[in-house]
Amino acid sequence: MTAALESPVRRIGWRRWLPIAAVITFLLISAVGMLLFLGVDMGPANLAVGLTAAVVPVPLLVASFLWLDRYEPEPIRYLAFCFAWGAAIATSVALAVNTGSALLFDRIGLPESLVAVLVAPFIEELMKALAPILLVWRRRREWSGITDGIVYCGMSALGFAMVENVLYLGKHGYATGVEEFGPATGLQNLFLIFIVRILFTGFAHPLFSAMTGIGLGIAARSGDRRVRWLAPIAGLLLAMLLHGLFNLLPTLSVSLAQPYIMLYGYLGFMVPFFFAVVGFAIALRSWEGRLTERILPFYVRAGWFSPPEVAALGSLARRHSARHWARRVAGEAGQKAMRNFQFAATQLALLRDGMNRGLHTDPRDLHKNATEEHRLLTSMQGYRDAFANRDPQTPRAFWDGLNYQVTFPDGQTRTVPAPAEPVVPVPVRLAPAFPVYAPPAYGFPGYGPPPGYGGYGGYHYGMPSYGQPNYGPPQQYYAPPPQYYAPPYGPPVISSAPPFPQPPAQPEGPPQQQP
């Protein structure tokens, strides 16, 4: 009987881990095969020199993409998957196709240089894009927008460029120089190719793949089926076009003996276009980072966030200041809790934005969204507890969805309207334990404001002796706005009763001292 009950669990576990093990094995075999091919083709010494030189810029470029993805960092395993795919799979297929095309062109009497213009851009960009496309297909929930597309495609492009640079630096640079005039010439060639391919054009592959990433990012956050198909195709075609144009410049310069073609094309188009894309990516990161300011006010109206909390999530500088404050009042644990709180708030905003866009229509996905929203709100309450009740410089207060209820030094609780610019870190008052609720069947949970319990479940900043410790629930409960529900699910059922049980009435009396 026990074995019969345990066998389905084992099967589910095998079904979950078997594809992952297959992907890892496939990547490892491909990487080992690529290394063996390079070692045989170039020689171990030339491979070591080329690999060492090609790896030098990789940490800096990877750090740049991680910096771009600071608001909602992607899982390391997916970033590593894209990098390994570009380094092992994409390069192997592209190398085989380009080599075969060169032999075919030579047989039919076409110059081999045309492979770089007519074949390489298409096969290389397609292979680099396959890993992010697989992630969109199987892990669409991990995509929060265009920035994620740029990061995933950029990591795949970095892996591809690193292996390609091994060939150019180790074989065409160092090995060729050693064969002709000795190690000194080999090092000189290596240095010159490093300057050209790493310093001057090292941005090329990530720049081309960024076009595919923009298309995938648009598709991942769109509820329109046509956009989901057309945006990635358009981005991939643009990446191929840019790649072909970039390869055309040196081909024309050599065939026409006009070196200025490459110079003018590089300085007049590629460099300005690169800085334009960098500026777009930085501006886009800032815009996507302010998603919390556009989405979380819904929870402010329901009482789950206060305006200063939402304002403190609007930029990296504000988030850094909030973590600095949490460390000042609660030490390392408070700083870690604030970082987790910020990450959970970003995930909550992305989840709610996806609901508003109608990204998921399957009932199972809707149920997952409801469960995930519940989990995030619960975890954020726990994170607050780590830096709650720590700052003696702010009076006890809570946000009821419209105004602040602030306890003054005379023990009286007064209503204070929210200022136009939220500058006072007044917290949200939450329950000590998240109550169990029953979400509607495959729908969005109707969260009301947090109930008023006997103590402060959320964090407050007041002196322990300020006022009464209990305020009771807010006087009005706010139903979700119409856009909270997607059109296919009908109008919301608004009940006059709050979604959480009412707390017992608190007796009136003098202010109570808290330990």
- For 124-182, the pLDDT digits (tens) are 999 999 999 999 988 887 788 899 999 999 999 999 999 999 999 998 888 888 888 88
Q: Is residue 239 pLDDT above 80, yes or no?
A: yes
Q: What is the pLDDT of residue 59?
A: 93
CA distance 158 to 48: 19
Q: In what order do the strands lie in the sheet containing 397-399?
A: 397-399, 403-407, 413-417
Buried b or exposed e, range 234-265, using 16+ CB within 10 angstroms: bbbebbbebbbbbbbbbbbbeeeeeeebbeeb
Please tell me whether residue 466 adopts helix, strand or coil conformation.
coil
Q: What are the backbone dihedrals phi and psi of residue 162, each rounded to the nearest 5 degrees, phi first?
A: -65, -50
Closest listed residue to residue 490, CA positions, set 440, 455, 454: 440
Tell me, letter by letter, the H, E, C secondary structure of 258-308: CHHHHHHHHHHHHHHHHHHHHHHHHHHHHHHHCHHHHHCHHHHHHCCCCHH
DSSP characters over 31-72: HHHHHHHHHHHH-HHHHHHHHHHHHTTHHHHHHHHHHHT-SS
Q: What is the average pLDDT score of the chain?
A: 78
Closest listed residue to residue 479, CA positions, set 441, 429, 444: 444
Q: What is the pLDDT of residue 14?
A: 60
Q: Is residue 436 pLDDT above 50, yes or no?
A: no
Structure tokens at 145: 């927008």
Nearest-5° Cα angle at 406, 401 to 408:
170
Contact 76, 209 (CB under 8 A): no
Contact 186, 175 (CB under 8 A): yes
Contact 169, 57 (CB under 8 A): no
Contact 151, 74 (CB under 8 A): yes
CA distance 384 to 180: 68
Cα–Cα separations (whole angstroms), residue 222 to 151, 357, 400, 481:
18, 7, 34, 21
Q: What is the pLDDT of residue 222?
A: 84
pLDDT band at residue 205 under the 50/70/90 scheme = very high
CA distance 70 to 325: 20
Nearest-5° Cα angle at 43, 38 to 45:
110
- For 312-345, the pLDDT digits (tens) are 888 888 898 889 988 988 889 999 999 999 999 9
CA distance 174 to 53: 11
Nearest-5° Cα angle at 312, 152 to 63:
30
